[in-house]
A and B are shown apart, each in its own frame.
Chain A
Amino acid sequence: MIHVSATPVLALRGISKRFGAVQALTDVDLEIRSGEVVALVGDNGAGKSTLVKTISGVHPIDEGAIEWEGEAVRINRPNDAQELGVATVYQDLALCDNLDVVANLFLGSELRKASVLDEIGMEKRAKELLDTLSIRIPSVRIPVASLSGGQRQVVAIARALIGDPKVVILDEPTAALGVEQTAQVLDLVERLRERGHGVILISHNMADVRAVADKVAVLRLGRNNGFFDVATTSHEEIISAITGATDNAVTRRQARTATKEDAK
C-alpha cells in the first residue's frame, strides 16, 4: 500500500449508543488511518449504519470517546463531522435529480463571486475533479436524473470529495449496481486510497470487500467481533465472524474440552 500513517486519523474508543430499550452499540472500537480502506461488515442489525451515523454526527454517542488525529473531539451534529473532514455518501445517494452534475457536486458549498454563483469556476473544478478520478459521465451539465445508477454513485462519491475530506464513509456503494458499474466504483475507492483519504466501506458483498479493503472490522449484535487483515484472512473466517459461527455451542464445547485436557 501507499504509506499508512501511525496515528489513526479517526479512532473510536468504547462507543456505546442506546435507543430507548435497544442497546444498538456496545463498547465498539474502530480505527481508520489515511490511505487505508477499512471495510465495516456485519449482518443486518449488527449496528453498521448506527456506527456510521455516530461518526457522521446524525446520532451523538452516549458513551465512549472519538479521537481525531490523536485528539479527543465531540461530534454532535452533521456540521461537526463535516468541519473535521468526514464526508458520508449515503446509500440513497441524496442527489437532486433536477439539478445538473455541477450543481449537485457543489450543493451546499457553492463557489461564489461577489454573492453571485461562479458557474464557470464550479464547472472547471468539477471537470478537474472528475478527470483526476477518471470518472466518465456524458456531460457535467446534464441533470443527474439522466445518469445511470453507477454514474449517479460516482457523482455522489465525487461530491463527498469537494471539501477535500480526510475520511470518506461509503454506505453500500455497490448494492444496486451491475457488474461493470461495480468495477467502476471499486476503481474509484482505490483512487481515494491512493489520494490518501481514509475510507470506511460498508458492504454486504464479500467479493467487493476482499477486492479493495485493507482491513475488515466485523460487527455482530452491536459489538466488535474481530479485526482482520484482508491479505492474510480467509473468506470463511470473515463469514464466520459475521454470522457468529465462531461463537456457538460447538465451538464453546471444543474450547472447554481443550482447556480440560490442558489441565490434565
Chain B
Amino acid sequence: MSDLAKTPETATDNPGAATTEAEPSAAPVPAVDPRLLVREEGFKGYWSEFTRKVRGGELGSLPVLVGLIVIAVVFQLQNSNFLSASSIANVAVYSSGLGIMAVGIVFVLLLGEIDLSVGSVAGVGAAVWAVLNVNHGWNDWSAVLAAVLSGLVLGALHGFFFAKIGVPAFVVTLAGFLGWSGLQEWMMGGEGSINTPSGSIVENLTNYFFEDKGVAYGVALVAVLAYAASLLMDSRRRGAAGLPARPTTEVLLRTGIVAILCFAVAYVLNEPSGARGLPLALVLFLAVLVVADFVARRTTFGRQVFAVGGNPEAARRAGINVDRIRITVFALSGMLGAFGGLFIASLSGGATKSVGGGNTLMLVIAAAVIGGTSLFGGRGKVWSALLGMIVIQSIQQGLNMIGMANAIQYMITGAVLLAAVVIDSVSRRTQKTAGRA
C-alpha cells in the first residue's frame, strides 16, 4: 500500500482509546485518519491518485478529453484541413451561442432538473430583438437588453410553476417548449424572417473578429496571469491560515498546461493563412463561462444550488429558500437561452421562425452532459458547457468537411450523447461501490 499515509500512530481512530489513554489535546497528533489515502510527493503521487480516482469512478473531464483527441485524430486523417485556422475558428464561433445556452442548462442540471424549453426561449429572444429593433426602431442596445430580459421572465415563469405550484420541471418546460415556439412564430408574423441589419450588435456577435493579433495574445496572457495569480494567492492564504496548500510544483504544472492551451488557441486563430483573429463570440462565451464558474463555486448562491441539487430537504432544513433558488436558476437558464438565441440569429443572418428549433435543444443538453455534468443533480462544472460543446461542434464540423449527410450527423451525435449518459450512469454506480457517492 504505497499510497497510504505514513503516520506513526496507527490506532488513533479508536475513540475509546483516544479518550481513555490520552486526551487529544495532550498529543499533538493531527486528527487524520491513518486509513486516509494521501497523495505522495512528486509525479508518482499524481499518477497514483489519478489511477485511484479513475478506478473509483471519478472520471471528471477525462472522457471528454480522450474524446476530443480521438475526434481530432480521426478527422485530421480524413481531411487535413480539420485542424486549420478557419476550421477551428468555425468551431469556436458555432460553439459560442449554443455553449452560452448550455451554461444555463448546467445550472438546471445541477439542481437535478431539466429545461426542455431553452430552444424555444432562444427563438423568442431572437424574435423579440428583431421585432423591436427592426420593426419598431428601438436602438440596438435596448432591443438586445429586452430580448435577454424576455428570456429571464419566461425562465422565471417556468421556475414559478415548478417551485411554487409543484409541477414537474420536465412538464413545465415541455409546455414552454411548445408554447414559446408558438409565441415566436406569432411574433415573427407573416414575413417569417427578419434580416439582421448590417453593423448591428447582433450581426457582430458572430461576425466580428479582432484582427489585431495583439488582442488574442493579450487575452491569452491575461487569462494565464489571472489563473496563476488566483492559484498563488489561494496557496499563500491557505498557508498563512495553517491549512494544507497546493505545492508550488502543482501550481506551476497547472499554469503551464493552461498557458500552453491558451497560447496554442491564440496562435491558431492569429497566425496561419486565412486566420481572422480572435472571434468576438468566443470572447463573450469565455466571459460568460468565467462569471458563471465564479458564481457556481465561490458564491453562496452557487453553494445553495449544489445543496438543493444534492438534497433539497437538507437544504430546506438548513434555512435555504429552496423555491427562490429554483426560480432563480430557471430564470438564469431562460436568460442565457435568449442570449444564445441572438447568436443563432446572428449566424443565420436574421431572426426566423426556426431559430432555436430543430436540434438546438438536444445539442445544448447534450453538450452539458457530454462535458461531464451529471443528470442526477449536484455534480458538475460550468466548464463542461465548453468542453461538451466543442466535442459536438467538432464532430459536426468534421462530418461536414468529409461531406457526411445530415442524417448520419444526427445519428452520430445521438450516439455520442448516449455514450456520455452511459459514462455518467456507470461512473456514478462505480462511485457508489467505491463509497464516493
Contact = CB atoms under 8 A, between A and B. Distances in A.
Nearest to B35: A138
Contact of B319 (A82, A119, A131, A183): A82
Contacts of B23: 134
Contacts of B273: none
Interface in A98-150: 98-99, 103, 107-110, 112, 115-117, 119-121, 123-124, 127, 130-131, 134-139, 143, 145-146
A107 B15 contact: no
Contacts of B33: 136-138
Given A120-B238, A136-B31, A145-B436, A107 B16 contact: no
A117 B24 CA distance: 30
A138 B274 CA distance: 55
A143 B436 contact: yes
Contact of B299 (A78, A94, A117): A117
Contacts of A99: 303, 306-307, 310, 378
Contacts of A120: 237-238, 241, 243
A183 B311 contact: no
Contacts of A174: none
A138 B37 CA distance: 8
B315 interface: yes
B310 to A, nearest CB: 4
Interface string B128-139: 000000000000
Contacts, number: 117
Given A78-B319, A94-B318, A138 B32 contact: yes
A135 B33 CA distance: 10
B319 A109 contact: yes
A102 to B, nearest CB: 10
Nearest to B56: A146
Interface in B76-132: none
A179 to B, nearest CB: 10
Contacts of B299: 115-117
A75 to B, nearest CB: 15
Interface in B1-41: 12-16, 18-19, 23-24, 31-33, 35-36
Contacts of B242: 124
B113 to A, nearest CB: 15
A134 B19 contact: yes
Contact of B378 (A82, A96, A127, A138): A96
A110 B303 contact: yes
B319 A98 contact: no
B359 interface: no
A180 interface: yes
Task: Sort chain B's interface into a size bin.
Answer: 35 or more
A136 B18 CA distance: 10
A90 interface: yes
A84 to B, nearest CB: 14
B300 interface: yes
A112 B14 contact: no
A138 B23 CA distance: 19
A117 B435 contact: no
Nearest to B317: A94
Contacts of A136: 12-13, 15, 18, 31-33
B309 A98 contact: yes
Nearest to A121: B241
B65 interface: no
Contact of A145 (B16, B317, B437): B437
A115 B303 CA distance: 12
A96 B314 contact: yes
Interface string B311-325: 101110111100000
Interface string A158-190: 000000000000000000000010011001000
Nearest to A147: B435
A259 to B, nearest CB: 51
Contact of A107 (B12, B320, B436): B320
Contacts of B12: 136
Nearest to B319: A108
B303 A134 contact: no
B213 interface: no
Contacts of A121: 241
Given A79-B319, A82-B319, A117 B303 contact: yes
Contacts of A138: 32-33, 35-36
A96 B243 contact: no
Given A137-B33, A138-B36, 5 more contacts: A107-B307, A108-B318, A145-B435, A180-B14, A183-B16
